[in-house]
Every structure is written in structure tokens, then in C-alpha cells.
Chain A
């Protein structure tokens, strides 16, 4: 318990969380502070490239083994299973229609790469190692939840469909291609490649992450301000409870996989986080009847800040307490 509180206290006063809080408060107070769309995109490209490259370089340094395949399969299975739990909780805790519940459930099965990146920064601060291939696991967990969500919506009678074009868009969406591409470049060039661009992708990483989280805070704050009407007490409780449920499901899986302490924490973070990039776009195409205000507000306005401020410290502390391999 002491570990949880100490990680939490350390995290709450970190530049990363405080930058997010600044953006959130500025948006809630209707400040004119804003980050232009192009700048936000550039920051996200930098973060995805850096985290992918570092993951690949780490795999090159430690070598490939069978655990990568097992972790990928487990990640896909978690991403497929979590929407069913989320859907059940939503139907029990809220008055959302089956279509809205299915769309929200899809977001919680998929992952938030920014939550993942923030967690890696916190692990680095604590000097906790993790498997470099967790980046690939993150990419593999993006899409399966969309299939589960569309199946749940179709069962509820919605005209949800996944055509070839949508498959292409989901599997080749920019963030997945960049993350996997940078991972492969890092794996191919290894330590030598990392040394060459270290001054660009290692030292400035946390500063760039702070700026990106400032923007995320602004977006989350604006969303919360404008979508208070969709945020019932039940929906709010779901958005806080569901990440804990996802992390609880991932914990035994991660231990069975024999992941390191950092790896256990990251699989919990991935299962606890909710998408706000790949899944919303897929839902707008395949399930337009679902209300975007609901799923974006819950995933970005409630679950993301919860994970950033409280969730990640809980998952890291639990991983440290239970001890990975």
C-alpha cells in the first residue's frame, strides 16, 4: 500500500501529469490557450517514432525469443475479451443503448498509446526495465476490439459492418504503421542506430511528451465542458472502474507470460487504457448511429486522466509488489 501511495505522490507532481493538468484547467476555465492541429500531429509523430525505435533497439539488444509471440497472442486475446466485460458493465451501470454501449466497449478493448508512452516515462523515472517488444504488443491490441464491438452492435441489430476498406484503414492507420515501422528500424539498426539519433529521440522525449499532454489536457477539458450532459453518474463510474477491471484481467496473464516488472505494468496499462484515435475513426465509419460525444468523453475525458494520475501508479506499484520475472 505504501508503494502505491509513494508512486502516486511521485507521479502527481511529475511534469507529465502537471502539464496535462494545466491543459485541462485552461480548457475548463475557457482560456484561449490552444495547440494548433499541425503541431499536435507533429508531436504525436515524434512520440510514436521515438517509442517505436527505442522498443526495437531494446529488442535488438536483448534478442528475440518465444515470449514475444506469446505476448502478442495474449494481447490480441485481451483486446478481444475486454469489450465483452465493458459491454456487460455498461448495460448494468448505465442507460446507454446497446449500440452506444458496444461502441464504448470497443474503445476500452483497444489501447491508448499516449497512456502507454506516459507509463514508459514513469517506469524510466523509477529505473524499472520492460520488454522492448511491448511496443509491438501495443500495436497488436489496437484493432481486435473493433471486431468485438461491431459484433456486439450487430447482435443488437445495428447495421455495423467491417468492409475491406475499413480493414485497410484500421490495420494500416498512420499510428500503427509509424509505431511498427519505427520498431522495425530500431530492431534492425540496434544499439548503433540508437546511438546515432539518441540526442533526438531520448533526451527531448519527456519534454515533448509534456507538450503533447498539455494538448491532451486541452482536448479533454474541452470535451468535458461540452459533454457534461452525456456524463451520467453510472457512465462516470464505469470510466473509472473499467480500467481497473482491464488491468486486473491483464495482471495474471502478464505473470503467466513471465514478463518483467515493467512488462507486467505495461500490459496492465494497455488493458486499462481506452482508445481515442483508431477506434473513434473506425466507429464513425462502421457505427455512425453511436454517439461520438459519449465514447470520446468517457475515454479521453475520464479514463485517460484517471489512468495518468492514479491508474498508472497503481499498476506500477502492483507490478513491483507482485514482482515480474
Chain B
């Protein structure tokens, strides 16, 4: 099967920032993304878990976007404007997709 090069950008960010991040990357022309719940983890701010959260403030979400390689810089610039001051992880990995016209 024919596959095509693409970039998978994964942004793990504080839940209260989810709406802002999605609006920003949409404005940057990236309209395809997936938001995943994150169960828990550990980082510079200590361990956390989504179990029994009384507030979204302590939770995190993962936003996954798959884009053509030439569009990744624009996406990262837009995302960085939101995540710069906040807790989170941004990673970019190479991947292969079928149906390249969709990205």
C-alpha cells in the first residue's frame, strides 16, 4: 500500500488550556486533531492522576495532530504561543499515513 511521510505532533497540556490550544491551531490552518484523555503521570510539578479530580485545573489532555512535513513549523509556532508559559510536553515524531490528501 502506498504510504506518505507525515509528522505526528503530540501536545500534552493542562486541561484548562485545551480550548485555547484547539482554537489557536485551528486558526493556524490545522483543522484535523484528536484530543485524548490522560490518566495520570509525573513531571516537574510532581505526580498527578485524573482519578477523583474535583477540578479540571489539575488534569492534563493530549492533543494529537498529524500534518504534512511542510506544515509542521506553522503548527509548532502557533502551539508554542499557547504552551510557552504552561506545564506540558510537545513532541514531534515522523510517521507514515495513507490517504495523504487528508493531511
Residues of A participating in the B interface, judged by any CB pair closer than 8 Å: 34-37, 40, 44, 114, 159, 165, 169, 215-216, 218-219, 222, 226-227, 276-278, 280-285, 288-289, 291-293, 296, 300
A219 with B17: CB separation less than 8 A: no
A281 with B57: CB separation less than 8 A: yes
Task: From B14, B52, B85, give the contact of A35 (CB < 8 A).
Answer: B52
Count contacts on B: residues with CB < 8 A to the other chain.
21
15 contacts between A and B (CB under 8 A): A40-B52, A40-B54, A165-B19, A169-B16, A169-B19, A218-B51, A219-B53, A227-B46, A276-B55, A277-B57, A280-B57, A281-B55, A281-B57, A284-B14, A292-B58
Other 5 A-B pairs with CB < 8 A, given A37-B52, A37-B53, A285-B20:
A169-B16, A215-B54, A216-B54, A226-B47, A284-B14
Q: Which residues of B contact A300 (CB under 8 A)?
A: 54
Give the number of A-B contacts (CB < 8 Å): 70
Residues of B participating in the A interface, judged by any CB pair closer than 8 Å: 14, 16-17, 19-20, 45-47, 49-58, 85-87
Task: From B14, B54, B85, give the contact of A219 (CB < 8 A).
Answer: B54
Query: In this complex, what residue of A is CB-closest to B57?
Result: A280
Query: In this complex, what residue of B is CB-closest to A214?
Result: B52
A291 with B45: CB separation less than 8 A: yes
Task: From A36, A44, A277, A288, give the contact of B85 (CB < 8 A).
Answer: A288
A293 with B54: CB separation less than 8 A: no
Most buried by B among A216, A227, A284, A300: A284
Q: Which residues of B contact A216 (CB under 8 A)?
A: 54
